[in-house]
Amino acid sequence: MSVGIALIAGLGNPGPEYARTRHNAGYWFVDRIASSARLSFRREPKFHGEVCRWSEAAREIWLLKPLTYMNLSGESVAALARFYRIPAEQILVVHDELDLLPGIVRLKLGGGDGGHNGLSDIIEKLGTKDFYRLRVGIGHPGSRELVTPYLLQSGPSADDERLIAESLDQAVRELPRLIDGEFTRVMNHLNRRSRGDSSPDNTATPNV
């Protein structure tokens, strides 16, 4: 059996003004896990975030919501990973993905940051790109200039919210396999859904 995930970090921004914004899709995911397991997050200053410990299939998994704001997410992820000696390949970072349509969720290992400042900081603070990412599709607003308000100033439409919720629920159902290290199986299963690349042609995504 492969070594599976021991830390799930959901990325987002703290505060009620950001709670429903698309950039908080990572928070939404770990909140779903905690709610279904009847767990509560507690603030841990040494980890610069809110954490809870989840026991599943005789394994211990840490759930983390960084409170550093998105651009400094790596401070939180690296602090917890170092304290509990969790290697990068046992970390799953859950984040919003402009280049996937709402309703699409993908798992990948490694790669660049794709212009996502949260991922960029995690790569820098961990010193490696080789951690797992769960990419939650939120769609693209259509142009570079609209990206920041799209991410930070408005929530998804009712239809998009439903699609995102369904994709999060689908990913939650894959957690037992992620914990067991069945990464290829999870990737294949998630990829059975139709592909949803929402990047407009020739439209660069700014760092956010």
- Triad 122, 127, 132: Cα angle to 5°: 55
Partners of residue 49 on adjacent β-strands: 44, 66
Q: Is the dihedral of CA 39, 172, 102, 165 positive or negative?
A: negative
Distance CA 132, CA 119 (A): 11
DSSP 113: -
Q: Where are the alpha helices (DSSP H) in the chain?
A: 25-36, 73-83, 117-126, 147-152, 158-173, 175-179, 183-190
C-beta of residue 80 within 8 angstroms of C-beta of residue 97: no
- What is the three-class DSSP state of 159? helix
23 has catalytic annotation = yes
DSSP 25: H
Q: Which of 23, 95, 116, 140 is catalytic?
A: 23
Positions annotated as catalytic residues are 23
